[in-house]
Amino acid sequence: MRETEDLDELYRDVVLDHYRSPRNSEPLESPDAEGEAINPFCGDEVRVQLSLVDGLIDGVSITGVGCSISQASASLMGEAVKGKNLPETLAIVKAFRALMQGRSRSDDDAGGEIDLGELMALEGVKRYPVRIKCSLLGWNALEDALKVIAAV
Ligand code: ZN
């Protein structure tokens, strides 16, 4: 896809930094849960591995290929959930989905109390519906992995 100047807002420094230097990109040797998601539109793929210690996400691995939004969002996501417990992680997922859906941060139930930190750099994506799928791809993979954990 050709990127135009209109998309400049999508490519804030933090997004480009995570795209060029993805965090937690080493596969885990013995993950407790894994999830995968693909976006046929861009050919984006994200795989998430998690390991838990005492109910906290101790190890995160984010691997994949695809457009800058999909890969940067997944990298930022990994940093955001590291060290969190399951309810905290689910709250972050909910808050990020609400952000992408353009819901007011003060809406009830939109996770407005959650500090999304660097993930806020992706806020501009919500104006580009096609790219929202890219941005949420890693989060779909994460939710798959969380279902495995919740079921254990
Ligand atoms: Zn994409």
Q: The dihedral of CA 124, 128, 133, 134: what is its sign?
A: negative
What are the boundaries of each domain within the chain? 2-151
Per-residue pLDDT tens digits for 37-57: 999 989 999 999 999 999 999
- Cβ(35)–Cβ(45) under 8 Å? no
Distance 63 CA to ligand 1 centre (A): 14
Residue 53 CA, ligand 1 centroid: distance in Å? 32
Separation of 66 CA from ligand 1 center, angstroms?
Answer: 6
What is the 3 state secondary structure string of 92-151?
Answer: HHHHHHHHHCCCCCCCCCCCCCCCCHHHHHHHHHHHCHHHHHHHHHHHHHHHHHHHHHHH
The whole-model pTM stands at 0.89
Hey, what CATH class is 2-151 in? Answer: alpha beta
Instruction: Give me ligand 1 centre to Cα 18, in Å.
Output: 15
Q: How far is the CA of 54 from the centre of ligand 1 (A)?
A: 35
- Cα 112 to middle of ligand 1, angstroms: 26
CA distance 59 to 125: 28
Average pLDDT estimate for 8-22: 87
**Tell me, what's the pLDDT at 7?**
59
pLDDT at 122: 95
pLDDT bucket at 11, cuts 50 / 70 / 90: confident
Q: Separation of 137 CA from ligand 1 center, angstroms?
A: 8
Structure confidence at residue 147 (pLDDT): 94
Is the predicted pLDDT of residue 149 greater than 70, yes or no?
A: yes
Q: What is the pLDDT of residue 16?
A: 93
Centroid of ligand 1 to alpha carbon of 4 (angstroms): 15
